[in-house]
Structure formats: structure tokens, C-alpha cells
Amino acid sequence: MIKQLKKIFIYSGAFSLLFLSVSCEKGKNISITGSTTVLPIAQSCAEYYMYNIDKKAKITVSGGGSGVGIAAIIDGKADIGSSSRKIKEEEINNAKNKGVNVNEIIIALDGIAVIVNNGVNLTNLTMEELKGIYNGSVNNWKQVGGEDKQIIVVSRDTSSGTYGSFIEMVLHKDKLRSDAMMVSSNQAMATTVSQTPFSIGYIGLGFLNSSKIKALKINEVEASESNIKNNTYPISRTLQMYINGNPQGDIKKFLDFILSKKGQELIEESGYIKL
């Protein structure tokens, strides 16, 4: 009987250790979803972290838009929701109703570059001209000093944080024109504008890497790191990650890494502006 009890105890202890091991490994799984603007940052930092900081960590990264990332935190479908816009009041209220305490961690700075197809012979727009193009009161490039050609307007879709930031900073209370082409990501925006003559769009600064598009100055100010840092470029913003509650455990370690010197270097290498 004693031998049997010893066997049971040994097996039980072994099972407990196995369960503990599985639990610890599971705790190292971190899921990140949301902004396509923040996506290169999340991917670069996650890859470095898994290969150089914690080789047992498993970090999965996906896009979908800032609205998707924030919703994932509120609904408990992700550990980290990345966003290129600030959380909205209605999202905060929704989170509170579900018992979720959304916590914001600012990780980088960014500007929204206004881009045009290389065939557009302009180098600058004023904020008022840009607003007119996107609210529909300006329809031809000749109205803003360009050729007598119809303006093809491209915008991000409504789940995008870049869309939300652009609409807030450029259109204010005006509505986006109804004939704008809607695209789902920064890369889709760059591709569409590069392939569509006389088109205009906007992208996160980190995606400004195609020779087939050009960024316009806004109010004669270039979309550059220095101008974003000194607040002279008028369409700039912060990039952030949202979590439920205070960061703890492996999530805290990963977020601390992003904010560390090496993490901020990776953000710069990804084309964004470190804090």
C-alpha cells in the first residue's frame, strides 16, 4: 500500500511539474494585432526579442488596422493591440462596460506623408488645399496649381488608425468625399498611388520608400524626422500599443524592450522616429 502511495505521489508530482512547465511556456506566448503602420515595428522588435533576448518566447504579430487592435484588447482576443491613433471615447466606454482597463504605451513618433503619383507636377499643398481635395470641394489639379487633370483621391479604410488620424487632423469635422478609393493598408496605398496617374494618398512615414511616388510638402514643410520632432510638420502623431491593465510578466518584459535603447534603434531602422 505504501509503495502504491509512493508511486501515486511520484506520478502526481511529475504531472504537476509537467503542468507547471506547460503553463510557463504558455505564459511566454504573446499575441499582437492591429495597425499596419505599427506592423513593421512589432515584427522587427518581436523577431529580435525572440532570437536575442528570450529564445523561449513566441510572439505572433498580425495587422488588420488600429480599430481591430483596440477591439482585440477589449474583447480579450490579443495581448497587445497596436494603434496609430488614440483610442476613442466610445472604445474606452465599451472597455469599461466589459471590465477592461485599457492602458496606453506610446512607443514611437510618426508623420503622415501626403503622396502623389510621380506624374503630378506639384511639390507643395497647403492644409486648406489638402482639406478641399479630401472633402470634395477641389476636384482638378489646376485648382491647386497643377495640370488640368481630374484628381484621383485614395484613402485608407475606416478601420485604419492612419485614416482616423488623417481625418481628424486634415478634415476636422468635414466628411471624406464619397468617390475616394479605399485601400486596406499602407503598402496597398503606396502601390495604388504609384500605379494610378494623377492620384493622391497618404501613408505612414515608414512606408515612404518607393521611387514611383513622391511626398508633397504641406504648408511648405517637408515630412521629415526633424520637422515631426519640432512640431512644424502639421500631420504628425504618436504610435502606441494598448494592453489590458498594467503590464506584467512577459508582456512587460517585451514592452520594456521596445522602449529600451535597442528597441528604439529598431524603430528607427524601421523608418519611424524614436521617442
**pLDDT tens, residue by residue, 175-187:** 999 999 999 888 9
C-alpha cell recorded at residue 164: 482616423
What pLDDT shows up at residue 4? Answer: 42
**Cα distances (angstroms) measured from residue 1 to each of 4, 5, 8, 11, 13:** 5, 6, 11, 15, 18
**Rounded to whole angstroms, how far apart are CA atoms 91 and 68?**
11
Q: How confident is the model at residue 275 (pLDDT cuts 50, 70, 90)?
A: confident
Question: If we measure between CA atoms, which residue out of 193, 173, 177, 176 comes closest to residue 185?
Answer: 193
Q: How confident is the model at residue 206 (pLDDT cuts 50, 70, 90)?
A: confident
The answer to whether residue 93 scores a pLDDT higher than 70 is yes
**Region 43-67: what's the mean pLDDT?**
94
Asked whether the whole model's pTM tops 0.85, one would answer no
Q: Name the residue type at position 266.
A: L
Residue indicated by cell numbers 479604410:
157
Proportion of the chain above pLDDT 90, given as a percent: 74
**pLDDT tens, residue by residue, 18-27:** 333 333 334 4
User: Domain 110-236 belongs to what topology?
Assistant: D-Maltodextrin-Binding Protein; domain 2 (3.40.190)
Question: If we measure between CA atoms, which residue out of 111, 107, 29, 105 comes closest to residue 263?
Answer: 107
Per-residue DSSP letters for the chain? -HHHHHHHHHHHHHHHHHHHHHHHHHHTEEEEEE-TTTHHHHHHHHHHIIIII-TT-EEEEEEE-HHHHHHHHHTTS-SEEEESSPPPHHHHHHHHHTT--EEEEEEEEEEEEEEEETT---SEE-HHHHHHHHHTS--BGGGGTS-S-B-EEEEE-TT-HHHHHHIIIIITTSPPPTT-EEESSHHHHHHHHHHSTTEEEEEEGGG---TTEEEPEETTB---HHHHHTT-SSSEEEEEEEEESS--HHHHHHHHHHHSHHHHHHHHHTT-B--
Q: How confident is the model at residue 204 (pLDDT cuts 50, 70, 90)?
A: confident
191 C-beta neighbours (distance < 10 Å), count = 16
Q: How confident is the model at residue 3 (pLDDT cuts 50, 70, 90)?
A: very low
What pLDDT shows up at residue 14? Answer: 37
Q: Which CATH class is domain 2-109+238-269?
A: alpha beta
CATH 3.40.190.10, the chain: domain bounds: 2-109+238-269, 110-236
126 C-beta neighbours (distance < 10 Å), count = 14
**Region 126-147: what's the mean pLDDT?**
97
What pLDDT shows up at residue 209? Answer: 77
Residue 20 CB partners (closer than 8 Å, separation 6+): none
In this predicted model, which residue has the larger pLDDT, 197 or 24?
A: 197
Phi-psi region of 34 (alpha: psi -120 to 50; beta: other; left: phi over 0): left
